[in-house]
Amino acid sequence: MGLENAGLKTDDKGRITVNDHLETTVTGIYAIGDVVRGAMLAHKAEEEGVLVAETIAGQKPHINYLLIPGVVYTWPEVAAVGYTEQELTKDNRAFKKGSFPFKASGRARAANDADGFIKVLADKETDEILGVHMIGPRAADLIGEAVVAMEFRASAEDIARISHAHPTFSEAFREACQQASTGKAIHL
């Protein structure tokens, strides 16, 4: 691409080197998306584009990369945000978990699409949601509620106490949060 002609540097994987504000080694030149470190996701690149625009405009933006969801657009869909069990265990962070199978969801059964589950990981002491992982119907859409909850540092109990329309796929997230928070889900 001739990056060296502009004075840009790349890392050992060929990605353009940027700082925390996504500015390259050349002052005033920014890079985002698939050409920089991190996941190759369109919505990550979009957030980075906003960050760069706001930085240039003199604002003080930030991105919490932990809260950028990963989605696999297969059938069933797969989606995740936050920490995994393996990461929490490696960091010696005490956590609890809850899961809810779509086969126990009235909406999923009515749609004849009941394969999969939602798993919620929450801090053992504070109940703050640390990770959400799902496989099943509408996972690409459902992960958004988990991102909002985590962005506002909601507890599993917070989500468990919020009314969800019935019957909906999103009730499965609420039930998984109930399971994580109290050890019991209503519909299991």
pLDDT of 79: 98
pLDDT digits (tens, 9 = 90+) for 12-41: 998 999 999 999 999 999 999 999 999 999
pLDDT digits (tens, 9 = 90+) for 103-126: 999 999 999 999 999 999 999 999
Dihedrals φ, ψ of 77, to 5°? Answer: -75, 155
Handedness of CA 22, 23, 24, 30 (dihedral sign): positive
User: Among this protein's residues, is 166 annotated catalytic?
Assistant: yes
Tell me where in the chain the CATH 3.50.50.60 domain(s) lie: 3-63
pTM greater than 0.85 (yes/no): yes
67-182 falls under which CATH superfamily? FAD/NAD-linked reductase, C-terminal dimerisation domain (3.30.390.30)
- Note whether 96 and 88 are within 8 A (CB): no
| CATH annotation of 3-63 | 3.50.50.60
Tell me where in the chain the CATH 3.30.390.30 domain(s) lie: 67-182
Active site residue: 62, 133, 164, 166, which one? Answer: 166
Q: Enter the tokens of residue 125.
A: 């002491």
